């Protein structure tokens, strides 16, 4: 990615990716400390500031078609299973950044998408990451 002249900003976890950061795109794993990739996608889509940010989920653990559907329903634009070539990742990045996605005019309802309830196994509740999104 660096050789393709992309600036890469790494974060230790999903929470760190959201705090006071500006990106052209987000590439995330599913399994991360602090906030997994599926809730991260959902939180980005619910943020007024970030909701149109292109998201790629890149995972070596959650690779089934059902996992891909969860990622897409949570708000990811693309899902790529590891290992994938650098060229495949760059092509996906080019596609999600180059296509004009329909702007999300309204944030989804406050409760997390139904698909995430299955993934994280919690009842309907307000987001524990609300403090990262003061704009909603």
Model confidence over 44-83: pLDDT tens digits?
898 888 888 999 999 999 899 999 999 999 999 999 999 9
Closest CA to 96 of 47, 25, 42, 30: 25
- Higher-pLDDT residue of 85 and 130 is 85
Q: Is the CB of residue 19 less than 8 Å from the CB of residue 131?
A: no
pTM over 0.85? The answer is no
Q: Show the domains of the chain with their CATH numbers.
A: 24-130 (3.40.50.2300)
- Higher-pLDDT residue of 35 and 105 is 35
């Amino acid at each position: 990615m660096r050789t393709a002249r992309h600036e890469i900003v790494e974060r230790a976890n999903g929470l760190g990716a959201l705090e006071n950061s500006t990106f052209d795109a987000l590439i995330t794993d599913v399994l991360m400390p602090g906030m997994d990739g599926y809730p991260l996608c959902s939180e980005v889509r619910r943020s007024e500031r970030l909701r149109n940010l292109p998201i790629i989920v890149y995972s070596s653990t959650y690779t089934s078609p059902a996992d891909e559907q969860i990622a897409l329903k949570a708000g990811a634009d693309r899902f790529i299973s590891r290992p994938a070539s650098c060229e495949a990742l760059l092509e996906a990045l080019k596609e999600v950044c180059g296509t004009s996605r329909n702007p999300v005019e309204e944030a989804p309802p406050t409760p997390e998408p139904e698909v995430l309830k299955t993934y994280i196994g919690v009842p309907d509740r307000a987001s524990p990451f609300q403090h990262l999104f003061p704009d909603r």
